[in-house]
Amino acid sequence: MHRPEDLSVTEIPVTDATAGPYGITAGPDGALWLTLAQNGRIARLTLDGEVTEFPLDAPGCQPTVIAPGTDGALWFARTADHRIGRITPDGAVRSFALPTAGCGPYGIAPGPDGAMWFTELNADRVGRVSATGQVTEFEVPVTGGMPSAITIGADSALWFTLNQANAVGRISVRGDVTVHPLPTPAAGPVGITGDDSALWFTEIAAGQIGRLALDGEIKEFSLPDRTAKPHAIVADGAGGCWFTEWGANRIAHISADGEIVEHDLPTPSSEPHGITVGPDGAVWAALETGGVARLGA
């Protein structure tokens, strides 16, 4: 395995700056899939740079976070028109309306039950959508908490950030919710990812990365630049994580013991958002200015 400090960054154009690449994930077809939040499209990017765009039925629907489902499709939140979208690798698109008006779906992740689980920014709820589109919603016992990103943990529960409640939540597949307050006031947690023993999350307002063990113990690691605005995060498979620094134009790595390595992006103010480990083992980040960054050997 290559050391994080030995990797280099390249940028690949995907679309124009008005499209706003936001979420990114690795698909079951060996390609990268992105949401184009500003023009209502989903993009597929092959490892050799071929781009295909798939328009959605509502250009203003604002697709944000995207994740692979257990059914071989990609699922994504449509934050502006309050739907959950589904696209197959060959480009067939469907969407499902959510019961709560104005709920603002955002984070989405596959659950251990074969369904997709998602957060509702505006409604203090976490939702579940089956492969056939049946939706169930569960209330979070925090008013105005803004449930944000969500991921599966090693305990087969779903864990999610509460951006405005300064906490991380856990929900079982039965809908039981536990809330873990953070030590740092007004930390603003956003991204979250799980490894085999803990949850890692970003604190966008505090310039820190947090680690939450399954037993509830929380550790926080300060970034060299506390104004870097860490946003999305993904586990590296070796005990550490990669994350985007939206406010500092960087991709960074944190080891299991808190050592941080940062990589500047070539284009100034490229606004890195979503991040994933690609099918080639490299780290890929969506750049709101119209491209992706690849960090690899």
Q: Which residues are annotated as a binding site for Mg(2+)?
A: 271, 288
CB 223 within 8 A of CB 177: no
Binding residues are: 231, 271, 288
Q: Give CA–CA dist 144/146, Å, rounded.
A: 6
Binding residues for substrate are: 231
Q: Give CA–CA dist 86/66, Å, rounded.
A: 9
Beta bridge partners of 296: 8
How many alpha carbons lie under 13 Å from residue 91 in its C-beta half-sphere?
Answer: 11
List residues with catalytic annotation: 273
Place of tokens 């067939």: 92
Burial degree of 212 (CB within 10 A; 0-12, 13-18, 19+) = buried
How wide is the angle at C-alpha 114 spanned by C-alphas 111 and 115, nearest 5°? Answer: 65
CB 147 within 8 A of CB 159: no
